[in-house]
Amino acid sequence: MSWDSTWETVFREKEMGKYPAESLIRFIARNFYGKDRKTIKILEIGCGGGANVWYMAKEGFDVYGIDGSETAVKRAFSRVKDEGLSADLKTGDAEKLPYKDGYFDAVIDVECLYSNPGKGAEKILAEVKRVLKKGGLFYSRTFADGMYTGSSREELGKLEYRGISDGPLAGKGFVRLIDRKGIDKLYGGAFDVVSVDKLEYTDSNGKIKISEWIIISRNGD
């Protein structure tokens, strides 16, 4: 099982973000607006409480979501249903996606892959590749090596941590950051990497740095 059970507690005790990130909206708009949206199948791995599936369903796409947290999936389903929208949501493991080969036009990862060690992330990417159509796109937003990792933490390996004491990643269980070379190795090993951009900003009067990669890849097979 790739999913860290810490997230069940997180979703039970906290209300996570309710709206999609601007970079995701830009990705969807650039690649799929102007097409017959109801025929475009999009999957989000680690869909959480449904901010992104809600947005994509509202925009008229054929939307699917999977998450290891039963609490998160129930929350996402309620949000979609309450607004009269439709999405296929499941509780499950991203290492064993319950979908047919070549089924999706796009797969979305918004801070899901980072919570898996390198080998687990490779298995997830292999599954993403399997369910993507040839030429399908993979959008991944993941924490970069410049990210604040607390005033104290347990270091498990290169850019891998647990027990982060404070900041945005505190209480989130296992954390794997990635540097530019790591992107080429991990994502490039499965896909054709189309673009790599970085989003950085600070919080707490400049004391905390949030650093994220926006990686867009294509299934060339």
Instruction: Kindly list the structural domains of the chain, giving each domain's residue range(s) and its CATH number in brackets, ordered by start.
Output: 6-218 (3.40.50.150)
> What confidence tens digit (pLDDT) does each residue in 100-143 have?
999 999 999 999 999 999 999 999 999 999 999 999 999 999 99
Is the pLDDT score of 15 beyond 70?
A: no
Q: Quote the pLDDT of residue 156.
A: 94
Mean pLDDT (whole number) for 55-83 = 94
The pair of structure tokens assigned to 183 is 């992107």
> What confidence tens digit (pLDDT) does each residue in 75-89 have?
999 999 999 999 999
List beta partners, residue 123.
none
Residue at token pair 């025929």:
39
Contacts for 72 with CB less than 8 Å, ≥ 6 apart: 7, 8, 11, 47, 48, 49, 50
pTM of the complete model beyond 0.85: yes
Q: DSSP secondary-structure letter at 208?
A: E
Mean pLDDT (whole number) for 151-175 = 94
End-to-end CA distance of the chain: 27
Question: Where does the pLDDT of residue 9 fall: very low under 50, low under 70, confident under 90, or very high at 90 and above?
Answer: low
Q: Quote the pLDDT of residue 18.
A: 79
pLDDT: is 103 or 14 the higher one? 103
Q: Quote the pLDDT of residue 221.
A: 76
Length of the chain: 221
> What does the mean pLDDT of the chain come to?
92
Q: Quote the pLDDT of residue 7.
A: 45
Q: Quote the pLDDT of residue 5.
A: 61
Question: Where does the pLDDT of residue 43 fall: very low under 50, low under 70, confident under 90, or very high at 90 and above?
Answer: very high
Question: Where does the pLDDT of residue 148 fall: very low under 50, low under 70, confident under 90, or very high at 90 and above?
Answer: very high
* DSSP class per residue in 149-206: --SS-EEEETTEEE---SSTTTT---EE-B-HHHHHHHTTTTSEEEEEEEEEEEETTT
